[in-house]
A and B are shown apart, each in its own frame.
Chain A
Amino acid sequence: MSILPIPSFLDDIKDKGLRKAVYEGVDEVVTRVTAGMNIQDIREALRGDEPSRRPNPRLTPHADGFFLHIRPSFYHQAVTGIYPTFRLGFLSTYFFFIEVITGLFLMIFYTPSPLVAYDNMLEILGNVPMGQFMRDLHRLGAEGMVLFVALHMARTFFTGSYKRPRQFTWFTGSILLLVTLFLSFTGYLLPWDQLAFWAVTIGTSMAEAAPPQVVGTNVNLLLRGAPDIGAGGLLRFYLLHVFALPLLAIVFIFVHYYKVVLHGLSLPPGMEEIGQDTAKRVPKESRVYYIPDVLTTELMWVSLVTFILVVMVTWFFHAPLENHANPQSTPLHTTAPWYFLWLQGMLKLGDKVLMGVVLPTIIFGFLFVMPYIDTTRSRRYAHRRVAISLGLITVVLLVVLTYMGTPWYGVDSAADQEALQELIPVEGVGPIRAVPYDELVITTDSPIYTNLANPDESGYQITELDIVLPTIGIPVLDGNMDDLERMYGDSNPEFFHALEKTHEVVYKEFKDGLKNQLAYFVISQHQPEVRRLQLIITWDDENDVRQVSEKTIYLHSQSEWHEH
């Protein structure tokens, strides 16, 4: 007879006592949640004991549970170490989930419109608790995902794991590589700062070059929504970034992983007979069960990498944010995102169509069909000398091309522009902005305004400048560095450092053909909390004509460039 009119937990207590009844209740919940493992089973598994009851309860979560039904219940012992997988595929997936979680958070505070996108960034950084953390994590995760996906592909190539029967797995993996690159690339635009705008302008201009012209023009229009990137382009990139590409990624991650499980993880190349694939025929003594060994390993990796990421975003990595996108002003030394630098390097080598469109298409096309072309059977390193050499050459080429894609290679600007850009970059900090506000020495009450290069406007002839400037500015010359050090070395160390750096840069950049260069700092108190700093360089050009170049910035006591 029940205590209540209906059978209840109270009856259990009455029958078995409180302790036992509660234990059995909890045990049942645990069993249901884990789809088959009770508390005792879990305890045994974590202790490393053999299961005490049959049928093996550690297999039922795979058979009956949703989350583990796609995971194999055991692995070959040879693939559970660091080698041969280096856990790169697992970590790629991990990064994808990090991106989804942080991305959803950022989505709450973001509107894809050029009018407000940049404000949203400032809002996320300045008014959303944990906003900077989430944005940094999202950005770092994106870089990590590109890196790990690329490394995963390289590993698969070098261990020959793309060979029969895993050709299609490789194919889907190539799709995922492309999706990853485009996910990262489309996300690049969203902050709507100068970095985003110009990197993406460079990237999409390749699409415009696709032959024939009618195709290029229309692909470009489809992508940007207009001849240039604007509101339409931003919205399209946003939708690709948060909807279309993640959807593609999810579909292909599952196809890819289904194939991985179907064929098993390929064993290290040396362990099998040539042409054999024994991944699915794991001898009993080589089996490592998912529960508990692989599961605990994976959880450990997840928590370890999460910890590393959090440490990174706390102290070492902050997602960049430059000034508001300005279609009218192209910053000097604009580059594509780092993973497309090799493309930019190729573009410097030749024709835009050939290098920017035709060759990349061939390269990616080859990537997709490579397993169907390379049908050799052996996966052993010794038998794949040509393939591995080609692979290594490709890696070296990529590194070299990436270097060539940077502004250090093949970009020649005028010496004065280079010097000014290095000292006071249009975007970012540079050695002069980094001087703390209080260290800036006021040199004059009446600085030179207006365009110095135009005598009509400035009221100064260039030849007069060399006479006027020493009276209103601090000259940074070859001969006076010791004097400057005496004057500022102790009292204004950071300022002196900037002077030193200026000296170094001006005398380095100007070594070719240009001479008699003089650099001056003219600093005035422009507003109560704002100082105006003008760096003026004068020099003789190849024809011994005196030239002048200048860069003016305003520095506010609050802006603290030296901090970031």
Chain B
Amino acid sequence: METGIRSRAIENRILVGIACITATIILVGWIAINENARMEEFTERAQGRSVEQGGILFEDNCAPCHGYDGLGSNRAPALNNPVLFGFDYMQAIKDERLAVEAQLLNASDPETILALQTRLAELDAEEQALKEFIQYDYSQELVEMDAELAALDAQIETLPGIEPGRAGSIAAYIGRREAEALAPLLQERDDLTAKQDGGTPLTAEETERLTQLEEEIAALEAELKPYKDLSGQRTVIVERRARFQTLVDAHERVKAARAKLALAEAALAPLGETPAEGTPDPNAAAREVLINMQAAARSELDAADAERTNAYNALVESGDILRYDPTDPAALNRLTQVGWAGSLYDFLEGTLVGGRPTSASYWPQPMAAWSQESGGPLRPDQIRNLVEFILAWDREFTIDDLRAVQQFAKVPSAGAATAQGPTIGANVTLISENLTTLRDGGFEADPNAGKTLFEGGYGCSGCHGATAGTGPALAGMWTRATENQDNRLTDTGFADNPELYLVQSIVAPSAFVVPGFADGIMPGRFGEQMTIEDLANILAYLEQQQ
């Protein structure tokens, strides 16, 4: 090869090489300086996607008890819940009070001090008002119920026989129709049947009339059915509204009485202290009037307050609202309530991993341990996704959010139910012998007691509801066992005594897991909690689930 061409070829290679290396270095440098932003973005995305995964997991595993919207159900508390997040509705007021108090420490000018002290008093009043608003002010609910009622009334007014604007007369209408149209027919029918029952054979005409009567009665009842349905709905709303109205009225009265009291006190203040005995009091007349007024306002306030408390308790008892006391600091924050020193993330994770600790003292239905490390079905990453998802409910909560909650978490109590007497253990053979002994001894198992234990004491119904949920359905449980579905009897060796299969499922749930359900969710310690009587009662209840 000629030297000139060769040297040019080498030069070109070097040129390309250097160009590529330079470009690579620039590119890598450019990537490197963007790394922080990229990593941050990735972490954010990963977090978002973790929440997305958690949503599906929640829907599949948690929603049946905690509610699809996270607002709770009768089985488990709400997680989409200001209390869980410790959301403090008074935060703005508290912040301002701290600031004012700090200013007060540094203030020396008497006028400023007075202004600041006035502001503090105002803040106290504001806080009190807000607390009462949260607890007692259901006027918005009244508006909502009115709207509901108006919609229902509009529907009622389309029914024939109801005059426009007189939906409230529906009950009277039903009564009238029953008295005027239905009652005579019923009377006639009863007469005829009484005659028949008395041994007098009916004539052909009478028999025909009886058939005709039955048809007419059925037709009339069918005609009245929509009236009754709507009337029933209306009654429910009206009664509910009345209960709320009582509270709202009482609350208004409390506010009015308090205003009156404040007025009297404000008028009394300029009069000064009551002078000592013997000294002439130039304001004696005015003072007496005002003092009487003050006393009247105070007793009015006490009465209204008592009335309000009663109305509130009535609403709580009727299940219309949940008890939530904003004056109790623990009620504001679940972590304070249970004395948890870690973060909310840790609290949720801990609960998911290990189930609800000391479950019996919180809630009749225990929450299973969900993580694989505690024998449950979920992997650590899935637990994390779930926690991230629940945490994503955090926000600036409104009072509507608070009222939407269907079940607050229970406050831990010391009085956990414990078994009376020796427990049954996990040895099915032994339990079987004990059961026989118990029954031979004349023990009558009580299905109703079993039902109570199933729903309350041991919380079985949390997972074994009417339909299949986390665990197999209660309905048909006995039938499925006795009919050896999925070979459960043959596999466990209880073919000649299906009851023992159920016993084994209670004390050693992992021995046979019904296909389609996960192993490890059902607690395995029932054998250490139940007495033989409890077991017999539960079995008697299960025997009814054909």
Contact = CB atoms under 8 A, between A and B. Distances in A.
Nearest to A299: B17
Among B17, B35, B389, max chain A CB count under 10 A is at: B17
A303 B17 contact: yes
B467 interface: yes
A307 to B, nearest CB: 4
Contact of A310 (B1, B28, B42, B51): B28
Interface in A349-379: none
B10 A125 contact: no
Given A310-B24, A457-B467, A554-B52, A126 B13 contact: no
B19 to A, nearest CB: 8
Interface stretch (A26-34, A87-95, A127-135): A127-135
Nearest to B12: A300
Interface stretch (B55-63, B202-210, B296-304, B476-484): B55-63
Contact of A528 (B16, B52, B392): B392
A552 interface: yes
Contacts of A553: 52, 55-56
B31 interface: yes
Contact of B39 (A127, A300, A450, A530): A127
B21 interface: yes
A557 B38 CA distance: 17
Interface range for A: 35 or more
Nearest to B469: A457
Interface string B53-74: 1111001000100001100000
Given A130-B32, A450-B68, A557-B48, A292 B10 contact: yes
A119 interface: yes
A293 B48 contact: no
Contacts of B49: 556, 559
| Most A C-beta atoms less than 10 A away, residue of B11, B44, B68, B381 | B381
B47 interface: yes
Interface stretch (A44-52, A100-108, A261-269, A469-477): A44-52
A296 interface: yes
A539 to B, nearest CB: 24
B13 A324 contact: no
B6 A293 contact: yes
A546 interface: no
B259 to A, nearest CB: 38
Contact of B42 (A49, A126, A324, A326): A126
Contacts of A526: 55, 69
B121 interface: no
A296 B13 contact: yes
B283 interface: no
Contacts of A449: 59, 63, 68
Interface residues of B, number: 55
A349 B67 CA distance: 49
A48 B24 contact: no
A556 B51 contact: yes
Given A126-B42, A132-B42, A530 B51 contact: yes
A558 B48 contact: yes
A73 B203 CA distance: 130
B46 A304 contact: no
A176 B21 CA distance: 30
B379 interface: yes
A133 to B, nearest CB: 6
B545 interface: no
Instruction: Give the interface centre of B4, B13, B51 by most chain A CB atoms within 10 Å.
Output: B13
Given A310-B24, A456-B467, A552-B56, A296 B14 contact: yes
Given A127-B39, A303-B24, A530 B55 contact: yes
Given A46-B14, A304-B20, A129 B39 contact: yes
B43 interface: yes
A274 B51 CA distance: 69
Given A127-B43, A449-B59, A310 B53 contact: no
A48 B10 contact: yes
A173 B24 CA distance: 32
Contacts of B43: 126-127
A276 interface: no
Interface string B196-236: 00000000000000000000000000000000000000000
Interface in A302-323: 302-304, 306-307, 310-311, 314, 323
Contacts of A130: 31-32, 35
Given A553-B56, A558-B45, A306 B35 contact: no
19 contacts: A46-B10, A48-B9, A115-B380, A288-B1, A296-B10, A296-B17, A300-B14, A300-B17, A303-B24, A307-B24, A326-B379, A456-B467, A526-B55, A528-B392, A528-B393, A528-B395, A530-B51, A530-B52, A556-B392
Interface of A: 46-50, 77, 115, 118-119, 122, 125-133, 288, 292-293, 296-297, 299-300, 302-304, 306-307, 310-311, 314, 323-324, 326, 449-450, 456-457, 526-530, 532, 552-560, 563-564
